[in-house]
């Protein structure tokens, strides 16, 4: 039985050791056999042989356990070496996307008005003359209706030139009181430093019973809105003209670049124009069949807001898809 120790010690793998275990300690193994053979030993020698056999079993077990520990430790080490991760290896960072600055700005504007319970309405990009012009008190002879300014289709339809037609659609589909905004894309035949053929507007409209909606309400909400967007700026209302409002005003904020002192961006006026607004013209109410109501409306260009908020100098860079610009908004 002596050479079993050697066999155990020379095992190179756990599998090899396992076959040895079966051959030695198994039910039909060498040890069981040696114990079984005890029956042939003369009675007077039995105690001595049994004692030797037991000592042998003990030392074989010890040798086996030792070997097993050693082989298991080696196998573990090997596995760790194989599965090791090189954490110092360079891998490129995953790119994360972000909202385009125009959409992010639009979201901020929507959030403000939605928090005041304005509904968010939408309308078709391909409009007809009635909703885009006529009902908004823009008569046939108005220059905005010229082919120079508007994309027309052959059938007389057109790409909406502003989000104001959604006012008309909402008033015709609902009854007052109405409190809505309408964000979306608009289209004009224009392309230069400060104009692109497609841009975005947010339209606003509030209508209620006659006398319930005043210019003071309009002034309050726009001032609060502009302070929310631009922080601590001065706001001024300048008399102006829009066919769909009477009276009408354009709204300026004090220049956020020079704090009103005068610079290139504000053409040395100290003011930046950011909004058009007014009280809804009676002709507009007539076109949608409303009587005994009053209301205010406003409209703004989202790109202009985005450019001012992020100090982007060239409008066209918002549409070029240049990742170097977009990455700055992650
Ligand atoms: N529709 C105008 C434009 O495209 C913006 C506007 C001005 C909308 C005054 C209004 C408003 O509702 O009252 O320039």
Residue 209 has a pLDDT of: 97
Residue 142 has a pLDDT of: 78
What does the alpha-carbon distance between residue 225 and residue 97 come to, in Å, rounded to a whole number?
Answer: 28
Residue 190 has a pLDDT of: 86
Q: What's the 277 CA to ligand 1 centre distance in angstroms?
A: 6
Among residues 110, 112, 150, 148, the alpha carbon closest in space to that of 129 is found at 150
What's the gap between Cα 3 and its chain centre?
Answer: 73
Rounded mean pLDDT of 136-160? 85
Residues 6+ apart with CB under 8 A from 168: 130, 131, 135, 136, 284, 287, 288
In this predicted structure, the answer to whether residue 116 has a pLDDT above a threshold of 80 is: yes
pLDDT tens digits, one per residue of 260-297: 899 988 999 999 999 999 999 999 999 999 999 999 99
> Tokens 């090189």 belong to which residue?
86
What does the alpha-carbon distance between residue 51 and residue 220 come to, in Å, rounded to a whole number?
Answer: 106
Residue 145 has a pLDDT of: 74
Provide the residue ranges of all domains of the chain, joining segments of one domain with +.
2-82, 101-329
Reported as a pLDDT band with limits 50, 70 and 90, residue 61 is very high
In this predicted structure, the answer to whether residue 193 has a pLDDT above a threshold of 80 is: no
Rounded mean pLDDT of 70-75? 93
Average pLDDT, the chain: 92
In this predicted structure, the answer to whether residue 81 has a pLDDT above a threshold of 70 is: yes
Among 136, 162, 281, which residue has the most ligand 1 atoms within 8 Å of its CB, making it the best to mutate? 162
Strand ranges (E), 14-164: 119-120, 126-127, 158-159
What does the alpha-carbon distance between residue 283 and residue 245 come to, in Å, rounded to a whole number?
Answer: 9
CATH of domain 101-329: 3.30.930.10
Is the minimum distance from the CB of 162 to ligand 1 under 6 angstroms? yes
Is the minimum distance from the CB of 277 to ligand 1 under 6 angstroms? yes
């Amino acid at each position: 039985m002596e050479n079993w120790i050697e066999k155990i010690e020379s095992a190179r793998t756990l599998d090899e050791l396992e076959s040895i275990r079966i051959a030695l300690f198994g039910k039909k193994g060498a040890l069981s056999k040696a114990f079984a053979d005890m029956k042939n030993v003369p009675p007077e020698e039995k105690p001595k042989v049994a004692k030797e056999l037991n000592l042998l079993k003990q030392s074989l077990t010890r040798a086996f356990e030792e070997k097993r520990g050693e082989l298991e430790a080696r196998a573990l080490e090997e596995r760790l070496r194989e599965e090791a991760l090189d954490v110092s290896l360079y891998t490129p960072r995953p790119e994360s996307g972000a909202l385009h600055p125009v959409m992010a700005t639009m979201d901020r504007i929507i959030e403000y008005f939605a928090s005041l319970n304005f509904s968010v309405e939408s309308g078709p990009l391909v409009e007809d003359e009635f909703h885009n012009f006529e009902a908004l008190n823009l008569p046939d002879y108005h220059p905005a209706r010229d082919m120079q300014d508007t994309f027309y289709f052959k059938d007389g339809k057109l790409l909406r030139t502003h989000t104001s037609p959604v006012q008309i659609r909402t008033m015709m589909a609902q009854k007052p009181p109405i409190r809505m905004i309408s964000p979306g894309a608009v289209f004009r035949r224009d392309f230069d430093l400060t104009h692109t053929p497609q841009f975005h507007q947010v339209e606003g409209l509030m209508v209620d019973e006659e006398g319930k909606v005043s210019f003071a309400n309009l002034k309050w909400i726009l001032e609060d809105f502009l302070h929310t967007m631009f922080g601590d700026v001065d706001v001024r209302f300048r008399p102006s003209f829009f066919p769909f409002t009477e009276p009408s005003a354009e709204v300026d904020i004090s220049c956020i670049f020079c704090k009103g002192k005068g610079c290139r961006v504000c053409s040395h006026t100290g003011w930046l124009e950011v909004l058009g607004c007014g009280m809804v013209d009676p002709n507009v109410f007539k076109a949608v069949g409303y009587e005994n109501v009053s209301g205010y409306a406003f409209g703004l260009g989202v790109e202009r807001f985005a450019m001012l908020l992020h100090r982007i100098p060239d409008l066209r860079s918002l549409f070029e898809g240049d990742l170097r610009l977009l990455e700055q908004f992650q």
